[in-house]
Each structure stands twice: as structure tokens, then as C-alpha cells.
Structure 1
Amino acid sequence: MTITETRVITTSGNGRAASSVGQRRRRYTEDQVPLKNVIWRMVAGAVVLAIFVLPYIIMFFGSVKTKSQIRSVDPTYFPVEWNWDNYIKMWSTPETPLPFNLMSTVVIAVCATVLVLLVAMPAAYYTARFKFPGRMVFLFLVIVTQMLQPAVLTSGLFRQFNWLGIGDTWTAMILVNAAFNLSFATWIMHSFFAGIPKEVDEAAQIDGAGRLTVLFKINLPLVWPGIVTAIVFTFVSCWNEFAASLVILSTDKNQPLAVALTKFVGQYETSWQYVFGVSIVAILPVVILFMMIEKRLVGGLTAGSVK
């Protein structure tokens, strides 16, 4: 009995000290990371970075090699002779009019992205703010369209555009890219609009703001991360679209870079130095876009994960 009491007294007497030790341990765990863990994280990050970056490095080295170096019996990763003229010659090759292909890619991607925003933004706002008959059916059909890809519908789209008289035109590809990216953009922005309390809209309307004013001046600044996310994914999808462009666009000057790239791959000979060079040029705008809006894109992808 005496021993038990002594233990209780000792424990209660040292409670304040034990509490301070626990606080120090928690503070150490939260504020300081052991050096060993930091090193392992750096090594793991370097390995992952190398896995993703190495193909692009090899592609860049291939773009500055000569054809003989690439087709050598004993090839090397690093160029023996740096042939920077490949980036100049590829713009005037007889295989394809590359400057027109780049212009076609930019026009189709930008116009399709703008069209998606103009349609998806009010659609997402209306479905998030108003409950109307058939609302869930409409949202369900928006998801269903995600299961349909341009590659599956290319033959039907080809006949339809020819019947409308817009076959083999930029207009046809703008409509195709906009249609197949509209559902994703609508769902992304719908979730962001739904996360804004309706009281925000009501307060603005009490002050005399109309629906358009509430949408553009009140809601858009709050859902900007979601809009940036929709812009990036729509633009990248339109920029890399291949299957529908290959079927619908038959004129060399109207085809985007994704299709023009295949023209350097022949039946008996392939100009790999130009394939690598055009690939580098094709990925640069996307990389620059990601670098410019990376912070807002991360905010859009992680928004709503913590309440």
C-alpha cells in the first residue's frame, strides 16, 4: 500500500516535468526532421526526377545529332558533333510545311480552349446555383460524354463535317476539341462554384448586382484556381490531339504538329533528328504554360481537400 502511494505521489509530482518533456519531443517531431530522412527524401526525389526527365534529355541530344550519328552501329548518348542546324532545316523540309503546322496547332488549341470556357463557365455556374427539372440527368449526361473519345467517332464526324461543308478546316477541329473537353471543364468548375456559399451571391444581389455581375465580379475571383485547372487541361488536350486531326484534316498546311510529326517517319527511312527536334518544339509551349501558372494549378487541384 505504501509503495503504491509513493508511486502515485512521484508520478503526480513529476507530472509537470513529464509534460514539458513531451512538449519538447512533440516540438522536435513537428519542427525538426532528422537529417537521415531529409537525405532519403532528396535521393528519392532525384530518382523520380531522373526517370521523368531522362527521356527528354535523350530526345534533346538526338535532335542535335546528325543522321549518321543516330543510325551508327555503335551509337552514343552524347552527340559527337553538335548539329544545331537541325532546328533550322526542319522548318523547310519537303516532308511537311512545319510553320503552318505550328500555326494550325496554336489556333486550334487557343480557340477551342476559349470556346470551352465561354460555354462551360455559365453552364457550371447555373447547375451549381439552381435546381431545375432534369438537373441530375444533365450532369449525368455530361459525365457520359467523357466515355466517348474522338478516335471512336472520327468516321461519323468526318462525314458530318463534309456534309456541313467545313471538312478539312480549322473550324471542324475547334468544334471537335471543344466538344470533347467541354464535359471535363464543366465538372471541374461546377465543383468550385458549388463550394461557394449562396449567401455570397445573395449579399451581392441585395447591393444591386445582377446575375452577370455576380458571376464575373464576385464568383470568378473565388473560383479562379478551378478555371486555371480547366484551362490547362483543355489546352494540353487540344494541343496533343491526334486521332481526329489525322482523319478530318487532309491538307498538310491545316494539320497540327502531332500529325505533322508522323510525316518524318517513312517506310524505308526516318529522319529521327527532325522527329526529336519537332517534339522538343511541340512540348515547349506546354512546359512554359505550366511554369507560368503552376501555383494556381496546384491550388486548383488541392482545393477542397481540407475542410
Structure 2
Amino acid sequence: MTALTSSTQPTSTDPATSARPATPSDQRPKRRRKRYTEDQVTLGRVVLRMAAGFVVLIIFVIPYLIMFFGSVKTKSEIRSVDPTYFPTEWHWENYINMWSTPETPLVQNLISTIVIAVFATLLVLLVALPAAYYTARFRFPGRMVFLFLVIVTQMLQPAVLTSGLFRQLSFFGISDTWLAMILVNAAFNLSFATWIMHSFFASVPKEVDEAAQIDGAGRLTVLFKINLPLVWPGIVTAIVFTFVACWNEFAASLVILSTAGNQPLSVALTKFVGQYETSWHFVFGVSIVAIIPVVVLFMLIEKRLVGGLTAGSVK
């Protein structure tokens, strides 16, 4: 009986604890931290990247938009005291009239630019491709010296050597010709293309070549059917940089090509800038036309570049 009574009695508590009043921190509800899911974090990063890319795009596109709007304005509107970004009237006839201006034959200039850029690029690929493959696959005496001399030529620009190039080409009787500019452009872009493709060929294991040779493939078969699909991104890079450099070349063309019809668009563009007056609407129009082939090239090359990146893993 005594034990039962003692078990039913309430337990004593600490007087100090029972006498302490509740503080505001005890009464405040606990806040739960908001945890972001992995999908939300990924979505936020994607949005930030898209916003940053959009800002960069606007910064790069604005000059081209100004140039485009200027190409459909009149000369007086461009030289107005209070010019506007958007034309008051759209003069699309500027793109037609600029081809028949007395300053320069733009049709012939466009043909010259295409011929020089295309054939110079093909010549660079024809020479740089086997050179890059050989230097990447074989160890021969003077290999490092050869590669060093190749990269040293990048320090020499056509603007520095124009007088010497002019005398040399005149000696061979090919100055003021397309052939002269094809050789000059190919020579000054050959070293860059060789180094780019050399690094890609060197990244391909030699065991790939040895396995193909064991199966009976010759050296040319190994180069074109085995290595080229693996190094296609390097070839595309060499094509793009070589073509753009040849397309935009100015200094050597200005000195070597004296006939107006043989000059490329980069030189013909200066004919609209006079001492007392400048036809800015034609300058902008010719610039837009000169940009289009390069943009088309990048659009065509993009798919090839992606295909080249995955060709090695698929095969």
C-alpha cells in the first residue's frame, strides 16, 4: 500500500526551472530554411548564362545594326547635324546603286576577293595538312628547329614586308595578279594552320595508325580515312581562320594590286572615302555585303565541326 501511494505521487521539479518565465525566444516560432532543389539551381544557372549571353550578343550586334541602318540612309541624312539611329526613309536602292559607282568596279572586286580567299585557303590546306601529319608522327633531325622556324614566321606581317614582296613578285612578273596575292596570303597563313593541325594530329595515339597498318592500310589511307575524321575540328579551325584572314587582308593587296578590278573588297572599300567627301552609305553597304560570305561560312562549318567532334567516338 505504501509502495502504491509513493508511485502515484507527482515527481518534484526544479524550483529554479519552474519559476523562470518564458522568454521571447522560446515563444518565437522556428523558421525553416528554404532548400532549393537541384533542378531549381540548374535552372537559375541556365537563366544567368542566357542573360549574360544576351548582353554580350547585344554589345556585339549593335555596331552591325548601326552599320545596316546607315546603309539604307541617304548621304545627307548620315551627315546630318542631328542624326538618328533609324532612317526616316528606307533607301534600299543603295544596295543596287553601289555596284555601278564610278569609284571602283565592285563586281570585279567581289570576284577577286572570292578567288583569292578560296584558292589561298586550298593551297594552305594542301601544304599544311601533310606537313602537320609528318611532324606529329615522325621524329627526324631538325624537327624542333623546323617547328620553331614555322612559328617564327607568325611574327612577320605583310604590312612589314610589302616593299620586299612587291620587288620579288615584280622580278617574277606576277605582280598585280591574283596569283601573287594567293601566294602571299597562303604563305602568311601556312604556319598557323600547320601548328593548329600539328597539335590535333599529335593528340591522336600512334597505336591507331599502327593498328590500321597491321590491317593492310597504306600511309595515305591512314592519313585520309583514319586520322582526318579524328582531327576534323582542327582542320575546320584552320579553314575558318585562314579564309577569314585572306578575306580581310588589306596591306599587301593595297601595294601589290594596282589595277582597280584586281583589288579585293577590303581595298575597294577605301575608294569611297575621299579627301573632301565620303559616301558613308556605300561604305556601310559594301561592309554588309563583305560580311555575308563569312557568316555563311560559319553557318556551314558549324555542323561539320560538331560532326568532327563525335566522329572519332562513333567509328
Is the structural similarity TM-score above 0.5?
A: yes
Distance change in 2, residues 1:40/1:205 (3 Å)? closer
Map 1:222-233 to 2 at 5 A.
Answer: 222-233=230-241
- How many residues align structurally? 275
- Maintained 8 Å contact 1:261/1:278: yes
2:91 aligned partner, one-letter code: N
Verify: 1:72 aligned to 2:111, yes or no. no
Distance change in 2, residues 1:216/1:300 (3 Å)? closer
Cα distance in 2 for partners of 1:138, 1:36 equals 50
Verify: 1:256 aligned to 2:258, yes or no. no
Verify: 1:158 aligned to 2:185, yes or no. no
**1:234 — aligned with what?**
242
Gaps of 5+ in 2: 1-34, 310-315
What percentage of residue pairs aligned between the two structures are identical?
A: 84
- Maintained 8 Å contact 2:196/2:234: yes
**2:55 — aligned with what?**
47
1:123 aligned partner, one-letter code: A
**2:177 — aligned with what?**
169
**1:16 — aligned with what?**
none
1:187 aligned partner, one-letter code: W
SS in 2 for 1:168: coil
**1:178 — aligned with what?**
186
CA shift, 1:200, in A, is: 1.0
CA shift, 1:221, in A, is: 1.1
SS in 1 for 2:211: helix
Distance change in 2, residues 1:175/1:226 (3 Å)? same
1:90 aligned partner, one-letter code: M
CA shift, 1:38, in A, is: 4.6
- Residue 189 (structure 1) aligned to one of 191, 197, 209: 197
2:244 aligned partner, one-letter code: V
SS in 1 for 2:139: coil
Cα distance in 2 for partners of 1:153, 1:297 equals 34
Verify: 1:210 aligned to 2:210, yes or no. no
Verify: 1:279 aligned to 2:290, yes or no. no
CA shift, 1:300, in A, is: 7.9
Map 1:295-306 to 2 at 5 A.
Answer: 295-297=303-305
SS in 1 for 2:234: helix
- Maintained 8 Å contact 1:101/1:260: yes
**1:109 — aligned with what?**
117
Verify: 1:122 aligned to 2:136, yes or no. no
2:52 aligned partner, one-letter code: A
- Maintained 8 Å contact 1:226/1:300: no
- Residue 100 (structure 2) aligned to one of 86, 92, 102: 92
**1:8 — aligned with what?**
none
Cα distance in 2 for partners of 1:133, 1:85 equals 62
Cα distance in 2 for partners of 1:165, 1:289 equals 33
Higher radius of gyration, 1 or 2: 2
Cα distance in 1 for partners of 2:308, 2:146 equals 24
Map 1:28-47 to 2 at 5 A.
Answer: 28-29=37-38, 31-33=39-41, 37-47=45-55
- Maintained 8 Å contact 2:136/2:201: yes
- TM-score, normalised via structure 2 length: 0.84
Cα distance in 2 for partners of 1:64, 1:129 equals 54
Cα distance in 1 for partners of 2:253, 2:306 equals 31
- Maintained 8 Å contact 2:135/2:198: yes
CA shift, 1:296, in A, is: 4.5
Distance change in 2, residues 1:293/1:33 (3 Å)? farther
- Maintained 8 Å contact 2:230/2:308: no
CA shift, 1:32, in A, is: 3.8
- Maintained 8 Å contact 2:229/2:308: no
CA offsets per residue over residues 252-277 of structure 1, 9 Å max, x none? 00000000000000000000000000
Moved more, 93-102 or 202-211: 202-211
2:261 aligned partner, one-letter code: K
**1:21 — aligned with what?**
none
- Maintained 8 Å contact 1:229/1:300: no
1:239 aligned partner, one-letter code: W
- TM-score, normalised via structure 1 length: 0.86
SS in 2 for 1:152: helix
- Maintained 8 Å contact 2:232/2:305: no
